[in-house]
Structure 1
Amino acid sequence: MKLTRYDPGTPCWIDLGSPDLDASKAFYSAVFGWTAHTSDDPAMGGYTIFNLGDSPVAGLGTPMSEAAPSTWTWYAATDNVDATAARVEGAGGKVVAAPMEIPGAGRMAVFMDCDGAAFSAWQPGQFVGAGVVNEPGSFAWNELMVREIDGATDFYGKVLGWTTQKNADFGMEYTLFQVGDRAIAGMMPMAGDQWPEDVPSHWLIYIAVNDTDATAERVREVGGTLSIPPTDSPAGRFAVAVDTTGAVFGFVTLT
């Protein structure tokens, strides 16, 4: 059944800012079986909706600036994006792109949290966000890699109303972010030699797949690379990849 609404604070959309739209369309269509539908409205700048079947699952557009790297971004649902922007600033974050109208669709804004990790917010109009999640080929999970756990916990609690639960089942320090009693994202500390000091705090999106190993092979076949090969975890078998434009994303076979 296609989703028609999201509770405030819930991830509702993901999109990719890419310097090479054609390359990104080809890559993700090959890896996940998405079909690309590009707007013919000049004001939309070639913005593309990826569909899984007849359901929108992700977007694609150009980066906000020529210097910006190719990056996936996620959107939190909100009833009032202007109020969300005010809470971001009040909690020590930064408004990167002020609330703006997307004609016929809704309102959006882009932020950085108190530790510099980017995320966005979406106030739905005619477009509510992804039509399907947690199914193979659609958004499944969101993970914050952060330097300062307590600061991030406080920030997202104030801005999005998230609560947290420490999870020892993952065999590491892992925090679940929740909307109500439902886990909607995770958080890990950036500690140890695998996290050089120059790597900033950041969000990592995951796409659900039927077979992580087969998807990893497909990524390689179409020119991507793997930064983390298929690996088992309590949540399922996952991998982290880099696409042909340099954007990092994860995929997981959920248990």
Structure 2
Amino acid sequence: MLTTRFVDGAPDWIEVGTPDVEGATSFYGPLFGWTYRSAGPEGGGYGFFERDGQIVAASTRVTPEQGPPAWTVYFQTSDADATAEVARAAGGGVTSPPEQVRSQGRSAILTDTAGVPFGVWEPEGRTGLDRAGDVGSLCWAELHTPDVARTAAFFRRVLGWETTGVTFPGGVYTSLNPAGTGEDGAFGGLVPLADDPDDARAGARPHWLPYFGVDDPDAVVAEAAALGGGVRMPATSIAGVGRLARLEDPYGAVFAVLRGDPEEQ
């Protein structure tokens, strides 16, 4: 389960790269009950999304040269520099080398063997998000990848992840957890890119798909469409999982929403 009791290898931060921070705020604000707070003039366009005064996500302005709008998930590490070196040695890459973020910690953007960006955060003054695992906050994270076995081996080496095969009506799902935490520490999963109908239909490249908790996925889908977003997969119930939907914001950043319910039919 994704919580704010962060350990090495667990998701601890998430940010959306967008060409229009004001527009993104106008979308995500009413959708999730978020308010926006700028990091200030020295923040370079960086800012925080808050719910009830607690940080649940962040945003940063991106240009077309920097890449398409997307959500980036960060994971805790006790040594960002060492993690970046291991990622490079394991066949990944270093997009943004580790750097100090004021007195808050050290941050880096890396890529896995399929070229998918992810962040690492070495906490100092700030451990991570103030809120996770409930309504209006990050509750799950999936990596849609062309090679599950290779990706699992990469992250096992880089972040110490453990995997578990979970059987469900549609097949076997590869669940992820930080080392030594077992099923109680599960925070996400690996999805074969070729097996996902939405990815195939959209011609998607490998990517992270963050899930945000909601009370009413159907209402959120309708609201997202009214706010100018896209519906990639309508609200759908999956037994033993819950009711979920896949959406994109007006600039193309893809995300999902979930009402977890093991009894959902």
For 1:78 and 1:176, how far apart are their aligned partners in 2? Answer: 20
For 1:88 and 1:80, how far apart are their aligned partners in 2? Answer: 12
9-18 vs 111-120, greater mean Cα deviation: 111-120
Q: Does 1:246 align with 2:252?
A: yes
For 1:230 and 1:41, how far apart are their aligned partners in 2? Answer: 40
**Mapping for residues 192-207 of structure 1, pairs under 5 Å:** 192=195, 194=197, 195=200, 199-207=204-212
Match of 1:186 in 2: 189
Deviations 1:207-240 (A, max 9, x none): 0001101111111111111000001123110001
Is the 8 Å Cα contact of residues 5 and 128 (structure 1) preserved in structure 2? no
For 2:113 and 2:209, how far apart are their aligned partners in 1? Answer: 17
Q: Which runs of 5+ in 1 are unaligned?
A: none
Normalising to structure 1: TM-score of the pair? 0.94
Deviation of 1:173 (Å): 3.1
For 2:134 and 2:202, how far apart are their aligned partners in 1? Answer: 35
Match of 1:210 in 2: 215
SS at structure 1 position matched to 2:120: strand
> 1:24 is aligned with what amino acid?
A
SS at structure 1 position matched to 2:187: strand
Deviation of 1:5 (Å): 4.8
> 1:156 is aligned with what amino acid?
F
SS at structure 2 position matched to 1:127: coil
Match of 1:79 in 2: 78
Is the 8 Å Cα contact of residues 4 and 12 (structure 2) preserved in structure 1? no
Q: Does 1:226 align with 2:231?
A: yes
Deviations 1:39-94 (A, max 9, x none): 2233x112111111021010001127635111000000111101110110111100
Match of 2:40 in 1: 40
Match of 1:25 in 2: 25
Relative to structure 1, the CA distance from residue 64 to residue 6 in structure 2 (aligned partners, 3 Å threshold; closer, same or farther) is farther
Relative to structure 1, the CA distance from residue 31 to residue 196 in structure 2 (aligned partners, 3 Å threshold; closer, same or farther) is closer
Q: Which runs of 5+ in 2 are unaligned?
A: none
Is the 8 Å Cα contact of residues 139 and 187 (structure 2) preserved in structure 1? no
Deviation of 1:202 (Å): 1.2
Relative to structure 1, the CA distance from residue 125 to residue 116 in structure 2 (aligned partners, 3 Å threshold; closer, same or farther) is same
Is the 8 Å Cα contact of residues 162 and 177 (structure 2) preserved in structure 1? yes
83-92 vs 60-69, greater mean Cα deviation: 60-69
SS at structure 1 position matched to 2:118: strand
Normalising to structure 2: TM-score of the pair? 0.90
Match of 2:100 in 1: 101
For 2:241 and 2:62, how far apart are their aligned partners in 1? Answer: 32
For 1:160 and 1:78, how far apart are their aligned partners in 2? Answer: 7
SS at structure 1 position matched to 2:171: coil
> 1:18 is aligned with what amino acid?
T
Aligned residues: 252
SS at structure 2 position matched to 1:174: strand
SS at structure 2 position matched to 1:168: strand
Q: Does 1:131 align with 2:130?
A: yes
> 1:21 is aligned with what amino acid?
V
Relative to structure 1, the CA distance from residue 170 to residue 144 in structure 2 (aligned partners, 3 Å threshold; closer, same or farther) is farther
For 2:196 and 2:101, how far apart are their aligned partners in 1? Answer: 42
Match of 1:112 in 2: 111
Match of 1:7 in 2: 7
> 2:80 is aligned with what amino acid?
V
Deviation of 1:118 (Å): 1.3
SS at structure 2 position matched to 1:66: helix
> 1:35 is aligned with what amino acid?
T
